Structure 1
Amino acid sequence: MALLRRKNNPEARMSLGEHFKEFRNRATVAFIAILIGGIIGWLRYDDIWQWLQEPINSVARERNNPDVKLNMGGAITDPFSIKFKVALWVGIIASSPVWLWEIWAFLAPGLTRKEKRTGLGFLAAAVPLFLVGCWASTFALPNAVKFLLGVTPEGVANFQDGQTYLTFVTKFILAFGFAFLVPVFLVALNAAHVFPGRIMLKGWRIAVMAIGVFAAAMSPSPDVWSMLVLMGPMIALYFAACGISLFMDKRRDSGRPEWLDVPDDERSPL
């Protein structure tokens, strides 16, 4: 069927209805992958939840204050809701290779063969970078929680709402993961002839400042270590994206006909 379709439609054009059908099919596959990952998260909930609340337990042990703990007493449905959200969060992370692939595959039909090969390289880089970003967040999270709870006066109980704490932790970790994907999207924009490498490199000061602000906001700790855990790799990845983009620009320019570089007023009429 694929061969017949390619012969009848060599330019791989799709109608609007076919685009919607393609999107629905790929969204379904991504949803099923997230669901399977969510089931794993549901079954391993006790271990995962124990790990997620360890930063608060660590603060309680250091301050010798048993009144620093999580509270699930906001509503009778909170324990179930928290377990469901943890399972969904695990499903999103565990299924990241699948839904990243589906996003790329949905865009791939509109790309040339060379661009598809480049896209596969982006995908191969995006999956490990996303997972490494999530892993790197585990170094900054304990310090962030320790700082935020550290201003609690001695002898004062600090019962954290489970829903609020879970939202903070999961967004914190996912923010690191998506932050590590930024260089991949920068190179993708370069491959699409939208963002030249020289513009990226020229604006490195603004980029470093923006990365520093982002790292400081996501790692609100008085020590520099937790901020550098995010800022250092992001700066390195940004300059790596600049280098790759400059290399790709050079390759494109080397294959560009010389007559295209001649101003319009200097070209000879046909």
Structure 2
Amino acid sequence: MSLKEHLYELRHRLGMAMLIIAIGAIFGWIWFGVKLGPIPSLGDIMTAPYCQPDLEPYRVKFDGEIGCRLLQTEPFESFMIRLQVGTAAGAVLLSPFWLYQFWAFITPGLYTKERTFARTFVFFAAILFAAGAVLAYLVVPEGLQVLISFGGDDFITALTGGKYVSFIITMLFIFGVSFELPLIVVMLNRAGVITYEKLHKWRRGLLMGLFVFAAIATPGTDPISMVVLALALGLLFEMAIQIARVHDKRKAKLRAAEGWDALDDDEAAPFDYVPSDAEGNDPGEKPAASDTSKRVNYDDAT
């Protein structure tokens, strides 16, 4: 494809991705105020940590108030919150579809091994992000209880919708992104950038750094969120170190079996490599009959 054709393809993929996200936003907008069978509405899911029974003594109660509600202090604040939350939820639910558009644009330029590597990375990255977001949602009620109860009986709480929703989304995002750190360590080890020996040597310092990162990254100042995030990252980091240990051990056995370590510095490594043309065909094999338009004259190329 020419550069112009690549730009047209990119425009098409971006347009499709934006259309899918828009459809997801419409779905999220509707879901915000409607239950989907046994699944509660998105608005109820977002307000559940604030409306927990343990916080009832600290929440302000207005005359005639029914249930638990957030404050709207600006015009269209509830509209913007519903749009923001609905768009985020729709984008997450339909992420396989709009991410596929970017994948379809990039994948023609990747080799088979690189495609497999990318699929594995994206698969585990999605699982870890979802796990981090779920953990954050479970931790938020405990964190809110600690934060709100600091004032004791001298303060009453009435959270505004904008600040509360921003706090929840920030917690979900930070926990989800933080859970990607161990995966990055594993990928760097696979690429040969970081070895198990170095990770084992730096273990104490890295664990200390994770606790400092958790203290800085969490938007709330409650100790529960910080400790939970730090412990979860420490556990995942230890798993990443053990995965790196197994990988380096297998790599060392492979090097010993093929005699890499016995080679001199000026001697070539015994790579088992067969060159191929741009279409991935073995030069020793004839192209398929259905592929006559892509045949290559290997004698001329040589």
Determine if the TM-score, normalized by the shorter chain, exceeds 0.5: yes
Alignment of 1:140-159 (within 5 A): 140-152=139-151, 154=153, 156-159=155-158
Instruction: Compare relative contact order (CA 8 Å, sep 6+) and give the higher one, 1 or 2.
Output: 1
State the partner residue of 1:44: 31
1:110/1:185 CA distance change after superposition, 3 Å = farther
8 A contact 2:59–2:156 mirrored in 1 = no
Return the offset for 1:247: 4.1
Return the offset for 1:137: 0.8
1:77/1:55 CA distance change after superposition, 3 Å = same
Counterpart CA distance in 2 for 1:132 and 1:173 is 10
Percentage of pairs with the same residue: 28
**Matched residues, number:** 250
Q: Which runs of 5+ in 2 are unaligned?
A: 34-40, 63-67, 269-302
1:155/1:231 CA distance change after superposition, 3 Å = closer
State the partner residue of 2:287: none
Q: Residues 21-68 of structure 1, C-alpha deviation per residue, up to 9 Å, x if partnerless? A: 555444444434433332221111132222222322335414364269
Alignment of 1:150-169 (within 5 A): 150-152=149-151, 154=153, 156-169=155-168
1:61/1:168 CA distance change after superposition, 3 Å = same
1:86/1:207 CA distance change after superposition, 3 Å = same
What amino acid maps onto 2:30 in structure 1?
Answer: L
Counterpart CA distance in 1 for 2:250 and 2:107 is 22
Q: Which runs of 5+ in 1 are unaligned?
A: 1-13
What amino acid maps onto 1:148 in structure 2?
Answer: L
- The TM-score, its normalising length taken from structure 1, stands at 0.74
Any idea what SS the aligned residue of 2:44 has? helix
Return the offset for 1:100: 5.2
State the partner residue of 2:260: 258
Return the offset for 1:144: 1.8
Alignment of 1:2-17 (within 5 A): none
Return the offset for 1:19: 5.5
Return the offset for 1:177: 1.4
Any idea what SS the aligned residue of 1:66 has? coil
1:31 aligns with 2:18: yes
State the partner residue of 2:51: 57
Q: Residues 153-194 of structure 1, C-alpha deviation per residue, up to 9 Å, x if partnerless? A: 525443322212211111111211122222223333344444
State the partner residue of 1:220: 221
